[in-house]
Structures are given as C-alpha cells and as structure tokens.
Amino acid sequence: MEEDKLAIITGGAGFLGSHLSELLIKKKWKVIIFDNFSDFYDPSIKWRNAVELENIGVKIVKGDILNGNFFSKLLKKTINNSSVSPIIFHLAAQPGVSFCETHSKEAQRVNVRGTFNVLKAIIENNYPKMIFASSSCAFGESEYIPIDEKHPKNPISVYGKSKLAGEEIILDFKEKYPDFNFTIIRPFSAVGIRQRPDMAIHNFIKKIILGEKIRIYGDGESTRDWTHVKDIVNGFYLASKNDKLKDEIFNIGFGKNLSLNYTIKVIANTLQKEAIVEYINKNRFEIKHSCADINFAKERIGYKPKYQFFDAITEMITCQKKK
C-alpha cells in the first residue's frame, strides 16, 4: 500500500524536489526532505517551499550531502524508526550550466563527491533503493533526434560531465555491491512554477514583463524538449512505484522539441507584450538540439506526459504576475 511508502529526498526544497514531495504526499507517502538551503539563489525561495511542504506533512531536515556522516546517521535513524525501508530520491546537486562552467570545483564537489557520500550511506544502511536525478546534459550534443537511452554520452559542459560522473559512480557501486538497487532518471528541460530564477523560461517571462532585453546564444534556432515539471516528477514516482524495477535508466521528457525563438514568441504572445531579443555568439557549453525519446519509459513504467508546454507557461505567468 502507498501509505507504507517512505521517501527521503535530497534537495527536496528545490524546484524538482518540492514538486516531487508534493506528489508523494498526495499519494499518501511519508516524506523527509534533506536540503542545505544553499545561497546559489535566494535561500528564502527554498525556505518558502519548505514551509509550504511542512504544512502538508513533509518533515524538513537541514543538512548537506557533503557531510556524509550526517546523512548516513539520518538514514540509519529513519530506518530504525520505520517498519519499511525508505526510497532515496537523490536530487541534490549544484545546478546551473553557466554557473558550473565558472565554478567547476564546486560542481565536481557537490555533484560527484556528494553523490558518492549518498551512495556510501546507502551501502552502510542495508541497501535502500536509490533513484538518481541525472540530466539530459549528460548526452552532450545530439548525434540524432530524438535521443534514446543508448545515445552516446559526450557531455560538453562541466555540469553535464559532473552528472555523467554521478551515473558512473552508481554503476561502479553496483559492481561492488550487487544487492544495491538503483534507477537513473535523465530529465529534459523541466518547466513550471517554482522554477529557479536562473533558468531560461523564468528568465524569459521576467524580462518580457519588465521590457528588458533577452540575450540568446546563437541564432535562436536551438531547440529544447520543454517538459512540465509535474510530468518530470511523475516519472520519478512511476519508477519508484514499480517494485520489480531494478537498475534501469530512463529519459523523461515530453518527446517534442521547440526552438528558443518559437518559445519566446509563445511567451510574448501570452503576455501580450513585445520580446526584445539580442543574439550573441554561441558559447561552447550550450547544446544545439535536445529531444527525448520516451518510448522506453512508456514501455517499462507506463510514463506518458499529461501536460503541454503552454500549460506550464500559463501557470508561470499567473504566478509571476501575483508577485
């Protein structure tokens, strides 16, 4: 029964984590979020998410995955006080493709060392299942579209390399500890309310509302597989729900890509405002095209997107106007 399910979500107060927490609570899970409330962006945003989650029954624990002993003790205490083994949703990371390029040591420290610490804690505490949030950035530039799980992985950004390194550490642990059970999720371009301020869609909406210039790398014909955050976290939930699932990797996206030019046009039309766009030289760490092949996720876990890109845009605009 779902009432017997227990989740520990690292990075649970963030964009994806808060939506996943909300979904699991609706499914009658018990949820503990573990977050360091870093100052990568305004910590009050995540604290606001945390308070809202606490009000619906989520337990909040402030802590850092870089402190592996602290996380291991939390896991041990949780297991000792529960009749069921928790599922670990490891979402905590140093995000931001551009930020990671200029703070590569921090990206490696959090995304690689932090993931190692979470894995070590899992092994120390009798192998609870782990679901890891990787990224479509692990693929790098697409060799073909749509991108399936077997697509070559040649990340071009520090962020993508750090997430791929996280995947590789998980596979290494699996070789050493065969009883360890994992699922890797590669989300594609999540959009929706509570999106981080540095993310593209949030930035586009804000700048169009304020009449400010949007700077786009390249000619604007780069494409992204914008996927509603509710669909993304549903992918995590479906992977956790399937007890027969063992050691799988899934691409979770919408399955359709839209150009940045078209995306900005849709947002501007919805706002009934003009978008001011400046095209600047393409940087070396921005991929040209991205689109998920979601057939494997459909087949194995019954994943099927329910929401359109326009749904997310409308919700985000409504939320932005209330501020």
| Strand bridging mode 6-10 / 87-90 | parallel
Task: Evaluate if residue 244 carries a pLDDT over 70.
Answer: yes
Task: Evaluate if residue 1 carries a pLDDT over 90.
Answer: no
Do the beta carbons of residue 157 and residue 99 sit within 8 Å?
A: no
pLDDT digit string, tens, across residues 172-193: 999 999 999 999 999 999 999 9
At residue 231 the predicted structure's pLDDT band, cuts being 50, 70 and 90, is very high
pLDDT at 323: 63
pLDDT digit string, tens, across residues 4-30: 899 999 999 999 999 999 999 999 999
pLDDT at 284: 84
Task: Evaluate if residue 251 carries a pLDDT over 60.
Answer: yes
Q: What is the pTM of this model?
A: 0.96
Domains of the chain, start order: 2-188+229-255+287-306 (3.40.50.720)
Angle at alpha carbon of residue 240, lines to 296 and 201, rounded to 5° = 70
- Joined together, the tokens standing for residue 265 give 């046009």
Do the beta carbons of residue 192 and residue 303 sit within 8 Å?
A: no
CA separation for the pair 256, 12 (Å, rounded): 28
Number of neighbouring beta carbons within 10 Å of residue 79: 17
Tokens 């642990």 appear where? 173
| Strand bridging mode 6-10 / 30-35 | parallel
Question: Omega into 197 within 30° of 0, i.e. cis?
Answer: no
Comparing 322 with 115, the larger pLDDT belongs to 115
Task: Evaluate if residue 51 carries a pLDDT over 80.
Answer: yes
What letter represents residue 62's amino acid?
K
Exposed/middle/buried for residue 323 (C-beta within 10 Å: 0-12, 13-18, 19+)? exposed
pLDDT digit string, tens, across residues 126-151: 999 999 999 999 999 999 999 999 99
